[in-house]
Structure 1
């Protein structure tokens, strides 16, 4: 089945040209507009870079200010992987920065004390003594492993992710997504399949996935999430090759993708599915959400083709 068509892309393009930041406009032109301009995308990304090797300045719209934060790194890695630029000096410098902010337990915290003076959402506490976080570390290690990066820090972070996933007994959607990011990339595929099967059982047993958008009452909203903030099968299995694809039947996945396609708004963009705390951050987040929706729909359309 074709999940994305020219009309959908045209509407999304109008939205991105009208409302997107330079980075999302460059990404859209590169990913969907036939513009082979990797340099333009990377130049836009570099505007969010910090002198110490991290990323800040609202690259992740919910994290404001000039102090680099680990939770901004997944957004940067996404762009670097899309453009084939996640290698060499860029990867080394980023891993060096991550090594410098890694907690004693071997994991990367979501945020650092340096965020405290700057605006942030109420659900993002700033710790005095940051601890490693699977939600942040899994999203970071996955792309680095997938691109074959070799760095001393990566072994420590990989071990942290493995141990954290093995200990998971209770989880929530964003943490499970991060675990899938790691499981999709870790070289030990037998271990990854075993852990993915167990994690899939947790996700279904704890009802943190909405299997039928027509019946939201059948899914649980995780503590601290906004009312109605549900995750659907494609949020875990963002492409057909993901280990999380086996968690869902064809019908369950199709219902979610139909719902995703129908979520395109009249202005051409997709809505932000998580809690909103600032009008500015919502405006800045929607273009990235829109690109994510298009990429997911294209991935499953290519599978059908």
Structure 2
């Protein structure tokens, strides 16, 4: 079993850390709000006052935070993870969904300190994180990934190795951009069906077995039918805006137009401006319902 440092106990991180502890790894943890660590501490994890303290004696460091700013702070801040006390060869695994530019910058910083960086965003919902059923989207050397696998297998049922550092993030941003477009599209479709007088329960059932079905579409169609946008929140409009912004930045860097992504971005930004930044992202149906033809 390994000495594992885990940073970030949000909706996804808490389940991931619990899986690592249950697998027998020795956990040192940090979270900005330490109250979220109580269950892990009761299970034997050591709660630390800073990322740097959490990294003491680490063989593997895993971060799961919200965005570039949070990632930069936990890795490079005054009490960050990349201190001189972290042994050379330590695996630095960033599981957060971040911008492509920051991932490359962070990887370079880690490698300058002789750490082995693994670009490792994940796909899956919080219940999948708690069950150890995430999919890992990896950009790393084959050797580093092989070293990390005994730890990563506690949190994932599948690992997809896309190539070198940055490749995992490129895929994650692409698929999250696609997800934003799909969810905005199903919200628009459900608003249209509702206005046409169709039974939305029947519509959702038909969608689930039709050509337009995808896990994203089906899950959010049912959330729209149930009107359940402020309970059991799985992914927020605020986070969707962040991911789409990072994806559109990557598209611009690569010279790819992304007009559908831009439309989805505008819709989610409008949803946040309406005060629903922390609802479930299925609340986007309210933007679709408010639209009028010209």
Q: TM-score range by the shorter chain?
A: 0.3 to 0.5
Structure ranking higher in strand proportion:
2
* TM-score, with length taken from structure 2: 0.33
Q: TM-score, normalised by structure 1?
A: 0.33
Question: Which has the higher Rg, Structure 1 or Structure 2?
Answer: 2
